[in-house]
Structure 1
C-alpha cells in the first residue's frame, strides 16, 4: 500500500514572478465595438481581472488559507492523488468524500468544509475528504489514458478504504456528481448514500409530460447551454492537447477560459463578483496555472465522453439526495430521473447556480446535513 504523505501548498517566488510578468506583458486580441460577452470573454473585464491578478491579488494569503487545512498525497492506480482530509473534533462524525468538477478545484470547498466538520449540532458533524481530481490541481497531470469518472470513482473509494472508513457518503457537483454516483455503483458495500447538486437526464420515451414553469425554465437553460455554451466541451472532449498549449503558456488564456464560465454558470446580477468573490475566483484559477493542469484537466472530458466510454454509469440503486439550485446550467424534472435513481431526498433551493459550494455554502451544507441524518 502506498504511503499517505502530508502535503504543504507552497508556490515559489519565481513562479509568482513569472505569472505577474506574463500578465503584464500579455498580447491582447482585438474586440468588436460593443460586443460585450456575445463572442466570449469580454476584453475590458479580462484586462481588469488580469491587472488585479498581477498587482493586487494576494496569493500568499490564499496559500495560508489553504494550509489551514490538512493536505495529503498518495498514489493510487499509478496516479498521484492530492486530498484534503479534515477530521472533525467530534470523533463520531460521519465520513464524507466531496468531489469537485471543471473548472473547479478544492478551492470550491474552502467555505463549506468548516461548516461540515464543526456544525452547531455535533450530531451533524462530518469528517471531510476532498480530493483533487486526477489531472487537476495538486494531483498533477494524469500519467496515462483512461482517467474517466469511473476510474476516478474507483480510486476515490480505494482512498476511503485506505483512510480506514468502512462506511461513508459521497457528495459532488459537475464531474463530482458523476464521480459520486459512480462511487455508489462501484463501492455499494461501503458507500451508503450519495448527495449531489447536479443531475440531468433527457425526456423519457413516453414524452416530457406536463411541466411546471420552473421545470420549463430549467430545460430552457439546458437548451441554451447546448446551443451556445458547450463549445468548450466539444474542444475538451475531442482535442484537449491542442487547447493545452494556450492554457499552459498564457496566463490570460487560462484566466479567460475559466472566468467566462463563472459568469455564465453562476446566479449573478451580470457580474461574477456578485456570486463569487474576485479573490476566490483567482485562487481557483491560480491552482490550474501553478500546477499547469489546464490541459490535463480537460482530458476528463475526452476520457468520459468519447464514443464507447463507460464513464457516465447506469442506474444507481444507492439512496440519493439532490439539492437543485435554480440557476444550474442543466436541470431535468425529478420524474425524468426517478427511473434511474433511488431519490429519497429532493430540495429546491432558493438561490445559487453551478458552483453551489462557492455561491451558497451555508444552504448546501444544511442540505447535506439534512440528507445524511438518516444514515448516521
Structure 2
C-alpha cells in the first residue's frame, strides 16, 4: 500500500528545539588551530536556527510536492513522486546521501520534472522514512528496495541518479535490476586503488593530484567515516540530544560556502524526525557488506565538480564496465551539492545523459 504523506511537525517540537538552542553551551577552541568545525561557524548556525530559520516555510515547500509513504521489506519508505507534464517521460529515481536528505534535490525538481517522472526517496533511517528498525540496511538492500519501489509505482523502464551515498546506491540499483534500469548518473564514482602497484603505473598528473587530495582527505577529515563505521551508537547520544552538537557534526561535510539555510534544512530534517542516530548506521552497515567483485554493466555517467571528490577513471573502469560519459561540470559548478549550488549545470547533464541513451 502507498499512502499520501504530509510533513506536520508539532509546534511543541519547535518550542523544544528553540529552548535547547537557547541553552547551547559552546565549546572552547585554540585560536588559529584547525581541529574541525570552528566554533564561530557553529555559533552562527545555532543563532540562525534559533532566531531566523523558518522551518514552516520548509514544510510548506515540501508539502507543495506530492509525498507518499510505503512499507518495503519491513521499513517505511518516504518519497516524493513528481510526475512530468510529458506522459512519455522517463522515470528517474534520485538518491541523496549523508549528511544530506531529500532537501538536496528540491531545487532540481522543477527543471528535471520537465523531462522525467521523478521519484525522490528518503533513505531508510533518514528523514521522513523514520529510523531503521533492524540491522542490514546497507547500500545493496536499499538498492533492492528502490527497485521494488519503482515496480510498485508501475515503472518498468527507468533511470537512477545520485549524489554521495546515492552515487554508490544508484549503480547498485542497476546491478540488482538491470533489465529495467536504462542508465545510472552519478556525481562521484567511489572507486579506490586496490593495492596493486600496476594500477599506479603511468597515472596522469591530474590523476596523481586527485590521489593526493584523496590521501589528504582521509588523513585530515576521514574521522567521521571511521567513527560512523565502527561506533555510530556512541556518537548517537550527542547528536540526538543536542541540536548544536548535531549541526556541528553535520557541518564538517557541508561545504563552507553553502548557504546556512540549506545546512539547517538538512539538519532540521534529521532533528525533527529523530533520525540523526539511525542515519549514521549506514556507514556501519556498509563496512560489513559483502564486497562484489563483478563490475556493473548498466551504462554509467559521471558529472563531478571541482572542489569535490576526485573520481579516477582507471579505478572506476575496474568497478564499472560500461562508462559512457565522464565529465567535470563547467565552472562555476563547485563542491559536493551541485543539485543545490549548480542546479542548471547538473540537471542539464542528467537530461543529456539519458537522452543520449
Query: Any residues of structure 2 matched to 1:288-367 within 5 Å, and which?
Result: 288-306=270-288, 309-310=289-290, 314-329=294-309, 331-341=310-320, 342-350=322-330, 351-367=333-349
Task: State the distance in 1 between where 2:201 and 2:70 align.
Answer: 48
Say if 2:168 and 2:190, in contact at 8 Å, map to a contact too.
Answer: no
Please give the alpha-carbon distance, in whole angstroms, between the structure 1 residues aligned to 2:103 and 2:294.
30
**TM, length-normalised to structure 1:** 0.90
Instruction: Please say if residues 148 and 311 of structure 1, whose CA atoms lie closer than 8 Å, have aligned partners that are also in contact.
Output: no
Q: Distance in 1 between matches of 2:292 and 2:142?
A: 11
- Equivalent in 160, 166, 173 of residue 183 of structure 1: 173
Q: Distance in 2 between matches of 1:159 and 1:199?
A: 24
**Structure-2-length-normalised TM-score:** 0.95
Deviations along 1:112-157, whole A, 9 cap, x unmatched? Answer: 1111002xxxxxx100100000000000000000000000000010
Task: Please give the residue correspondences for 1:84-95 in structure 2 after superposition, counting only pairs within 5 Å.
Answer: 84-95=80-91
Q: How does 1:1-376 map to 2 (within 5 A)?
A: 3-35=1-33, 38-118=34-114, 125-203=115-193, 205=196, 206-263=198-255, 272=256, 274=257, 276-306=258-288, 309-310=289-290, 314-329=294-309, 331-341=310-320, 342-350=322-330, 351-375=333-357
Q: Secondary structure at the match of 2:87?
A: coil
The gaps in structure 2 that reach 5 residues or longer are none
3-state SS of paired residue (1:282) = helix
Shift, 1:310, TM fit: 2.3
Indicate the SS of the match to 1:85: strand
1:32 positional shift: 1.2
Kept in 1: contact 2:303–2:329 (CA 8 A): yes
2-side partners of 1:112 and 1:321: how far apart? 18
Tell me, yes or no, if the aligned pair for 1:246 and 1:254 is still in contact at 8 Å: yes
Per-residue deviation, residues 285-305 of structure 1 (Å, max 9, x unmatched): 100010111110111011111
Flag the 1:111–1:312 CA change in 2: closer, same or farther, 3 A: farther
- Quote the Cα distance in structure 2 between the aligned partners of 1:203 and 1:289: 36
- SS of residue paired to 1:192: strand
Contact 1:240 1:299 in 2 (8 A): yes
Contact 2:188 2:311 in 1 (8 A): no
2 CA distance for matches of 1:132 and 1:349? 26
- Take 2:290 and 2:94, find their aligned partners in 1: how far apart are those partners? 22
Contact 1:135/1:296 (CA < 8 Å) preserved in 2? yes
Distance change >3 Å, CA 179–CA 152, structure 1 → 2: same
CA distance in 2, matches of 1:84, 1:13: 24
- Aligned length in residues: 352
Q: What secondary structure sits across from 1:141 in the alignment? A: coil
Rounded Cα–Cα distance in structure 2 between residues aligned with 1:20 and 1:84: 28
Q: State the 1:314 CA deviation.
A: 4.0
Cα distance 1:294–1:146, how it changes in 2: closer, same or farther (>3 A)? same
Post-superposition offset of 1:67: 1.2
Distance 1:312 1:237, change over 3 A: farther
Q: 1:137 to 1:52 in 2, by over 3 A?
A: same
